[in-house]
Each structure stands twice: as structure tokens, then as C-alpha cells.
Structure 1
Amino acid sequence: MNRINEPTVSTKQVFEGKIISLQVDEIELPNGAKATREIVKHPGAVAVIAVVDGKLLVVEQYRKPLERFQVEIPAGKLERGEDPADAAKRELREETGYSCESVKLLHSIATSPGFADEVIHIYAADGLQSGEAEPDEDEFLNVEALTMEEAERYVAEGRICDAKTLLALYAWKLYQVTGEWGTSTSRK
């Protein structure tokens, strides 16, 4: 296989926000020509598959970019230097009120590698205990626990359509059949 990279000639910072930044890189193509790549930089995120009494914990919240409510597994942004496993436990507690004894990394997925460097680490939680949710001051969430049938109906209705939650449903379905979450095939 012939692997061709794109060396960066220059980088121009275009935007620096609270969550993301945008840069435009000038790159050199294999034929010597120059091209640009618009790149969204993101600190990364975590998401948690948490099953309580045979039901998947999810949160419903308004997603402004889509201009609609979405049902998703608990998830959130990594803080600078934060261990992803610790972040997964934190997000689960903040968004649902549930704490867990441990988490297991299932996959790390690139959300949109054509223009963003965001990677979401997806964990399965074990040893769940209920408590009080502590959402961020700008988060307004409804917590639900779904059966597999309800989750599949939400997918059919378009209430669940994000990649991390769809992947979580497939992992949960496999877990129901095998009793195992499997091993991580992720790269960090």
C-alpha cells in the first residue's frame, strides 16, 4: 500500500472558542502543489454506556446545531489533562446522577476525521448506584432508561441519530447476546 501524507507548510488560526478552535493549514500534495485543509480542533470527549435493570440510561437534550431534541448516551468534553476514564465517571454522575465502580474502554472513535480531530472514548460502566444528577449550569437534560425495543423505536423515529449512541446500541445488543463488552480495539 502506498501511503501518502500531507506535510503542513503553514497554519493560520482562524477562531478560538470555549470548546473548539478552527485553523487553516496549507499543505503540500504529493505532486508538489499546495492545498488548504480547514481543521476543527477539539479536546476530545467521552461517552458512557450504562445499563440499569436491563435498560440503557440516556439523556434527552436540545441540540442547537440540529435545531431539535436528541436522545443520546451520557457524554461530555474532556478537560485539559483529564484522564478519559475519570471523565466518563464524572459525566455519568453529572448527567444521570448514577455513579459507577468502574468503566471499561470499548472504542475510541474519530467523529469527523475529514475536518476535525475530535475523538470520543466510549466506555461501558459497571457497578452502578443511583444518586442526584449535577448537570452543568447550561445543560438541561431529561434522563430516561430505555429497553432495547424502545431504543430501536427512537432510532426509527430519528430521536436517536448520533454516531456514539448508535455505536452504543450495537455494543449493548452484542453484550445482550454474548454477556461480554468485548475488548478495546481503540487507539489513543
Structure 2
Amino acid sequence: MTNPSDPRLEKSDPKLDEATVSSEIVFSGHFLKVRRDVARMPDGKTTTREHILHPGAVMIVPMLDDGRLVLERQFRYPLGRVFLEFPAGKIDPGEAMQVCGERELLEETGYRAREWVRLGAINNAIGYSDEVIEIWLARGLEAGSNQLDEHEFLEVIAVSLDELLGWIRSGEVTDVKTIVGAYWAEQFLAGKWPAD
């Protein structure tokens, strides 16, 4: 276990911190915004920082009673191919993280869960986005009908954790949130990590 008072884990350090001098939104879309800031560096000079503003998201690691994990096959436009990933979705304004997870799990897979365990949170693109993704394990699944959005197409599958980890090791599964979720779930289920 790490020492929370370890200075290497401090979130602020005058030798490294940058301060916002000015800020402007240079693009505002339906889902994302792009901001361009002028930032003052630790040496007093300024530089430009551009980044994406993201509302935040929840990813769910859904586990069936037989231990298999529920995943989705979905085409992802920026990379032009089908990816295998855990169900996930962005947070609606004012929505609690677990409520978002419950909603997204039902909408995308049709499942409801009796047990929810927060595994942790990740910042998946720290160089260019403020996105935070909370990762939740959902167990005690009850099947139902999914409620996909109008322009959402996906296939729901179930695989063993070992099969998923093999696909991660071979490079077949490359979605970062899914990789992190699989390893966190593995550690939690083995009793090596407590729930967050």
C-alpha cells in the first residue's frame, strides 16, 4: 500500500504548477468543448494549452452469475473499426455516478444489477482532456431489453475474464478503460484490492 503522505504523490508543487492567465472556448459541439488557455509556467513564462472539456463518464464491468463478463462490440468512428469494450457512457448534468452507470447498463445491454461496487476512477487522456471515468463492478445481473439511442448500434456478448485478459495481452482489445477495468476487476475479485 502506498503512503498517502509521500511527497511524490502531492497534487500540487510550486516547482511544477501552471496557472491559467486567460481562457477561451474555441469549439463548442453537442458533446465536447475545446478550450485554449494561456498558462503561466513555473519560470514565469507563458505558453498556450489546448484541451477538451468532457462531462465525465462511467464504465461498468458487468458480471453474470456464472462469472462471465458482459462486453459490447461497437464501431468507433474516430478509428474506423469495431472495438470490444465494457458498457460506458457520459454523465448527464447533475446525475450521480452510480445512477449514470445504472442507466447506461440498462440502455446499452438491457441488464439491471442488484450489487454495485465502485472500483475507482481514471483520467484516460491527461495530456489533452479533463475527462474522468469512474469504473464500477455490477453483479447480480437481471436480463431485460436494451434501450439504445437512435444512432447507436452495438452487439452484446459475454466472455470469461481469462478470455478477455488473453485478448488484452494479444493486443486484440486496446480500449484503455476496458483494459483498466479488467485488471481492476481481476484484483478486486481475487481479494487483492479493496473496493474504493
| Structure 1 and Structure 2 fold alike (TM over 0.5) | yes
Question: Which residue of structure 2 aligns with residue 96 of structure 1?
Answer: 109
What SS is found at the alignment partner of 2:143? coil
Question: Which residue of structure 1 aligns with residue 62 of structure 2?
Answer: 50
Amino acid at match of 1:49: V
Match of 1:19 among 25, 31, 54: 31
Q: How does 1:122-137 map to 2 (within 5 A)?
A: 122-137=135-150
What SS is found at the alignment partner of 2:142? coil
Distance 2:44 2:181 in 1: 42
TM-score by length of 2: 0.87
Q: Does the 8 Å contact 2:27/2:34 carry over to 1?
A: yes
**Identity across aligned pairs (percent)?**
37
Amino acid at match of 2:63: V
TM-score by length of 1: 0.91
- Gaps in structure 2 of 5+ consecutive residues: 1-6, 8-12
What SS is found at the alignment partner of 1:81? coil
What's the offset of the Cα at 1:154? 2.7
Distance 1:76 1:82 in 2: 12
Match of 2:91 among 66, 75, 78: 78
CA gap of 1:47–1:76, structure 2 versus 1, over 3 A, is same
Question: Which residue of structure 1 aligns with residue 179 of structure 2?
Answer: 166
Question: Which residue of structure 2 aligns with residue 150 of structure 1?
Answer: 163
Question: Which residue of structure 1 aligns with residue 3 of structure 2?
Answer: none
Q: Deviations over 1:99-147 (max 9, x none)?
A: 0123221111101111100000000113211111111111101000001
Q: How does 1:169-180 map to 2 (within 5 A)?
A: 169-178=182-191
- Gaps in structure 1 of 5+ consecutive residues: none
Q: Does the 8 Å contact 2:108/2:148 carry over to 1?
A: yes
CA gap of 1:163–1:93, structure 2 versus 1, over 3 A, is same
CA gap of 1:37–1:161, structure 2 versus 1, over 3 A, is same
